[in-house]
Chain A
Amino acid sequence: MATNLMPVAKADADPVLIRIRDVHKSYGAVNVLNGISIDVAKGEVLVLCGPSGCGKSTLLRCINGLETIRSGSIAVDGRQVEGATPDLLQQIRLSTGFVFQNFNLFPHMTTIENITIAPTKIKGLSKREANEEARRLLEQVGMADKAQSYPFELSGGQRQRVAIARALAMKPSLMLFDEPTSALDPEMREEVLHVIRRVHQEHNMTMIVVTHEIGFAKSVASRAMLLDKGQIVEEAPAREFFEHPVEERTRKFLRAIMND
């Protein structure tokens, strides 16, 4: 509770970027999140896994204020998400990049326009500045030659890499990935995972990644967590989590995804 009373300037000293406390969320009579509490430290990569419907995507969407929670509290960089005014919610979203399972690129804009629209319209960057930054990001995700293409002309993997660049263009301090590779063919997954890895290394970016890519999770994640029926079943350092899971539920789940 003391954190809420601290002056804003001191929030920088707080190593915890996301503080989730006893979050409940339901759709009608269905409880999707049943008392979730998680701290994510700055620079940490947290991998969330779990069967479909376990609430992992909902949790990400709650952190970004795309869904409202029933009770509990979520704070991003000291800012409360629940009950936030539209202005505060915008600030939270500006510091948070969101990458969707189905990319959700804007189909009526070229690759570079997809990336520059938010910096120019929201942050008020000049077109020239935004374009320069966008080209640098496209270089980073290996899409420099597709700057003038429309999303329908790109493959799934390429679309997702553009979507990552679009999120990075807002210079977020936190990235949320909602099953970034599960809509992709196996050979396209690696190109996207490679980009995510690089983003983490180059920006030391705090990330929450919902994924079932075990290899990726072991190499990048600092921590992994299994969610089931809206609750945390097991939480451990990533390598330990995947190699020596304690809970029977986790073992069963990992067996299932490895046979996938």
Chain B
Amino acid sequence: MNYTFQFGVLADYGPYLAGGLWYAWWTSFPSIIFTTILGVLLAAMSMSQRWLLRGVSVVFVDLFRTLPVVVLLIWIHYVMPILTGFSFSPTVSSVIALSLNGAALACEAFRGGLEAIPSTQAQAAQSLGFSRWQVMRYITLPQAFFATLPSLTNVHITVIKNVTVTVLIAVPEVMFRAQELTVQFFRPLEFYTGAAFLYVGLIWGYALIMRTLERLQKWQPI
């Protein structure tokens, strides 16, 4: 190995590289929010009595769980405009692709959590006069939420990791900048290692926040 380490370049260009985190966060954060909201809706739909709602949920999950994120992203950003004449900025395309993919994963996580709630809970609520929707809203979902948090964190982490594929449509996040700097200075090891640390830091910090959220649960299942 005759590569001379020059981590000094990070002193000069590290801040620029780290600036990519801003874009990584503003791509992943909205995606996480949409992922969660859509995931809850899809999970609720999958347990509906109406076959149409169940069907939509199943088709959605099977489609977006199987579509590779790269294919989905390229399709939304480059193919959809051809069909519709309507195009999005790279960040918006990325948020859409990551949300659709994440929602399919989150739906499965929530469904697992919902199915773990004993049916007697719904019966007790129904006997008090709750409609099926109210049972979901006030009784099953809030209980399933905490049961789902650990696997939901995993889904969110996957979403954040998927931000790196947005390099393909030039969202100026960390990977894009690492590539840019490498081409300019021929220092792949330094810049990509820097990128690795930045992503690990971002995700680790996020996981920490989610773990704090888990501790907010004051009740225990009985």
Contact = CB atoms under 8 A, between A and B. Distances in A.
B131 A100 contact: no
A64 B128 CA distance: 10
A93 B128 contact: yes
Contact of A152 (B138, B143, B222): B222
Interface string B132-158: 001000110011001000000000000
Given A104-B120, A108-B143, A122-B134, A66 B127 contact: yes
Contact of A90 (B121, B123, B131, B143): B131
A59 interface: no
Interface residues of A, number: 28
Contact of B219 (A90, A152, A159): A152
Interface string B65-85: 000000000000000000000
Contact of B126 (A93, A97, A151, A170): A93
A140 to B, nearest CB: 18
Nearest to A117: B138
Contacts of B222: 105, 107, 151-152, 159
Given A108-B142, A151-B222, A152-B222, A98 B129 contact: no
Interface residues of B, number: 22
A66 B126 contact: yes
B212 interface: no
Interface in A50-65: 64
A170 B221 contact: no
B215 interface: no
B130 interface: yes
Interface in B169-214: none
B121 A106 contact: yes
Contact of A107 (B126, B134, B138, B220): B220
B145 to A, nearest CB: 9
A152 B220 contact: yes
A255 interface: no
A86 B121 CA distance: 19
A35 B142 CA distance: 41
Given A86-B131, A121-B138, A170-B129, A106 B124 contact: yes
Contacts of B125: 106
A81 interface: no
B128 A122 contact: yes
A208 interface: no
B129 A94 contact: yes
A118 interface: yes
Nearest to A92: B129
A122 B130 contact: yes
A151 B134 CA distance: 21
Contacts of A97: 127
A165 to B, nearest CB: 12
Given A104-B121, A104-B123, A117-B138, A167 B128 contact: yes
Contacts of A159: 222
Contacts of B221: 107, 152
Interface in A61-102: 64, 66, 86, 90, 93-94, 96-98, 100, 102
A161 interface: no
Contacts of A122: 128-130, 134
25 contacts: A64-B127, A66-B123, A90-B131, A93-B126, A93-B127, A100-B123, A104-B120, A104-B123, A104-B124, A105-B124, A106-B139, A107-B222, A108-B143, A108-B219, A118-B128, A118-B129, A118-B130, A121-B138, A122-B130, A151-B219, A152-B220, A152-B221, A152-B222, A170-B128, A170-B129
Interface of B: 120-121, 123-131, 134, 138-139, 142-143, 146, 218-222
Given A93-B129, A107-B222, 9 more contacts: A96-B127, A102-B120, A106-B143, A107-B219, A108-B142, A108-B146, A117-B138, A122-B128, A152-B220
Closest 6 CB pairs of A and B: A104-B124, A98-B127, A152-B220, A118-B128, A150-B219, A94-B129
